[in-house]
Amino acid sequence: MAIISILVALVLAAAQGVMAKAARNRAGTEIEGMKNALESYKLDNGTYPSGGAYLTAVGGAYSTDPTGVGTYIASSQLLYQALSGKTNYTDVPVAGVKAYMLFKTTQLGNYKTTSVAPTYVQDPWNYSYGYSTGDANTPQTDPPENGTGFFDLWSTGGSVSTSTVTTNAWITNWRS
């Protein structure tokens, strides 16, 4: 019985590692897809879609907590609307508006409701993706920033916990 318990514990530990890696890979793939769609959007429109504003009031730095800041969701809603041509997953694209990316319902937060609030793009940990264009509302002066002045797109990647500290495990469009 003890041997079986040890084997089960080993298998479960290995499975958690595989699932965590799969989630990180999925986030990286989704970011790459959105990055390509944003480049197509810029080619057609001359600029990237607005990223909204989500600098914190304290120190003017980017928030690293996507769970407690509505601005992460607001910028992710703008990203969804610009790339899909829709305001909600149940809507049809607006006439004459090009869709740059098709999203699966599993990629969308709030996808089970048809409320007034637009749908937003969520990462594998069910947090909204961060998106900044470096415009007047979201100047790229504090991390996360790619230094290019174009756009930043990222996931906080769930979190990595040690015995004393929990930190974000960033997945971004500007670093691997």
Do 125 and 158 form a contact (C-beta atoms < 8 A)?
A: yes
Sign of the alpha-carbon dihedral angle for 151, 128, 63, 21: negative
What are the backbone angles phi and psi of residue 21, rounded to the nearest 5°?
-65, -40
Is residue 13's pLDDT more than 50?
Answer: yes
- How many whole angstroms separate alpha carbon 46 and alpha carbon 38? 11
Residue 55 pairs with which residues in a beta bridge? 62
Give the mean pLDDT of 75-99. Answer: 82
Inter-residue contact 76 to 129 (CB < 8 Å): yes
pLDDT digit string, tens, across residues 96-125 = 888 999 988 888 887 555 555 557 888 888
Average pLDDT value for residue range 155-168: 66
pLDDT of residue 71: 61
Query: Distance between CA 38 and CA 40 in Å, rounded?
Result: 5
Look up the pTM and report it. Answer: 0.73
pLDDT for res 122: 87
Average pLDDT over residues 68-73: 60
Listed range (36-45, 74-83, 87-96) with the worst mean pLDDT: 87-96
The per-residue pLDDT for 70 is 55
